[in-house]
Structure 1
Amino acid sequence: MAQSYDVIVAGGAVTGSSVACHLAMDPAFRGRVLVVEKDPTYTRCASALSAASIRQQYSSAMNVQISLYGIAFLREIGARLAVGDERPEIGLHEGGYLFIATGAGRAVLEENHAVQVANGADIRLMEPAALKARFPWLAVDDLALGAFGVTGEGWFDGYGLMQAFRRKARSLGVDYLAGTVTGVVREGDRITAVKLADGSTIGCGALVNAAGAGGPALAKAAGLEIPVHNKKRMIFTFRCAEKVDGCPLLVDTTGVYVRPEGDGFLCGVVPPEQRDPDTCDDFEVEWDIFDDIIWPALATRIPAFERIRPGRAWAGHYDMSAYDHNAFVGRAPGYANFYLANGFSGHGLQQSPAVGRGLAEVIVHGAYQTLDLSPMNFARVARNEPILEKNVV
């Protein structure tokens, strides 16, 4: 075993690169970091294929705080992740999220809003008349309430964020290697080395599992079963014949979402349960979901969307936490130097600044310093303490 690193990160997309970048930026860290990424083209990673949005409209204080940290980071990304004179630009557009509810869902929006504003989020509750005045193209007859992110919510270039972390990490001496971590060498409660698919072995002082869809397999190779599944999600684009000015990221009462993208729109929905298997490895687009579920819901909510021209579509994979739809972050139980960053359930991009910094702090300093992410530790499964989140999109 000729090579050895102080920290090896399995997975070099947005979360893994954020961890590596924050390690390298920490003045107290003097070690060597290696990121092992199976797809250095990043063509099929979730970071490149998601809707790339950020919101504070959660029902748990933890998620609100993580995204407040995230939006502050994204606003300052040019300074935070600059490499020499090159300042990354991710096209952050704070267009807001708009959650709407019928009478049956009004109380949930009100309860969530109380948590959000108590933690500093800029969310406004809007009655139907106010919704119609602000968004005249919106059908509101069946609505009882809306919750709109006035600032701090919107969308951005997710691929650009990932590459900014990666570029900054490399500029600070982090090494990247094309490969797949398939196994570990364990001595007591420590992982002393990783095994790669090509048969090589690399020593390590710590291992971070940020392998996305490959995270459960790596955890299992280390002797740990994590309830994370590989779910397929599809995004569809279209153009509209009429103007729909000032459209936020709208989450309809049906669960369908839509937001502007360039001179058109993109949209999606969680597939019906019978069409959403726990394990999925194909990237096929199922157009009937758009035709039968998404378009009818959008045309009902925004009548202008009755006249659209469908565009391209794509499918990607989410590492979905089957336990509570929230990620497992922190030191793995039973290990002194194995760390998890798995099961982000579609929230990985917006949570990557806080999670990357948090894990780097735990590795370097032994504890969280900026934001306490300890409720996200995998040990919550054994304690039966799920992070209850009502706003699952």
Structure 2
Amino acid sequence: MAKTQYYVPVGPIHPALKEPIRVEAKVEGEKIVEVDVKRGFAHRGIEYMGMKRNAIQTLYLSERICGICSISHPYAFVIGSEKALGIEAPPRAQYIRTIIGELERIHSHILWLGVVAHEMGFDSLLFWTWKGREKVLDILELLTGNRINYSVFMIGGVRRDIKESHVKALKDMISYYRIFNEEMKEVFLSDPVYKARTRGVAQLSKKMALELNAVGPVARAAGVRMDVRQDIPYDAYADIGVRAVVPQDIVGEARGDAYDITMVRLYEIDQSLDIIEYCLEEMPEGKIMAIPNYVALLAKIRRTQGEAIGAHEAPRGEVIHYFKYGNKRDGPVVWKVIAPSYNNINTWKPLLLGAEVADIPIVVAYIDPCMCCNDRVAVVRDEDGRIIDPATLHRKAVEKTRKLREELGVRE
């Protein structure tokens, strides 16, 4: 007798994530037998807008792709732009960028640990980790003026220097997290309930990680030793010699499950503290901007033609920005973005097939997804199913806005 199958839709609006995505599952009893993942609910046309602005405006627009990764996209942006434009940031600026990038990694990893605990029902663990995360956010605010969307990177350098008065606060923060991270390791990795809930759940093999082009902690948890800081070092990472954190270095084997990815992120926090400490000790003296005058910078961009790729190892994995400059414009002629969630969401379907319904939140949270990072293209069709070109879509949008203004009695 055939078993009864039930259709379980999750999303696009649901409590597990603050961004919209839809997972459609068919279940037999508690087991998932069929999965379809639908994305595309959060497209905002940022790349299109960025190609209509100058490079400085587009740089700060790139921060708005993702709030949690609000240094990751500007980091890839400035690296790619500098390559395309033939600009080199001063050594001191490169070290400052590296410090800020690692501060973001610490806050993002702690945020993830709290979210995963929340998805499993450990809300006390969520509140405890997020309380500990406040320390790094305070430091980011001290260095940049903001807790999120730091607006500190610039093509050819950084806008703010790290002063002597900041160094003590950074060293105090390092001492704080040396202790706090050991406590987190004890709570997450030694707790029998957490281990029982994550061992064997969302298990990704090394072969599957490579076939699905997984990146970041998701790939490293499966035993793939990959990290942009290691493979294509940039800024201070070239001096440091970063080695990707993988489970086999810690416990002798990689299972690629939710427990292993927890382990990878916890040990990456230690690595980030080491990197920040190194940068503070070896910080070069000198200026922090290659071209301090923004008018002169835009003038140089107008005179330059070039294309390049900027890659940065964000907390979730590699972020890639492609640029093409030219046509006497002061902004990118072409700007394309690939974020880690674009790759890592591909793991959901194989991980969910055969899993229990209760594991859906863990599998979804496992990759630390970002829908706004992920949605880069939108295709719109008319009533006859034909694709509407950008010019027609823009005209229709203007017509609709005018019609709404008339109906509401709003003057132009």
TM-score range, shorter chain: under 0.3
Normalising to structure 1: TM-score of the pair? Answer: 0.27
Task: Compare the two structures and name the one with the higher helix fraction.
Answer: 2
Task: Compare the two structures and name the one with the higher strand fraction.
Answer: 1
Normalising to structure 2: TM-score of the pair? Answer: 0.26
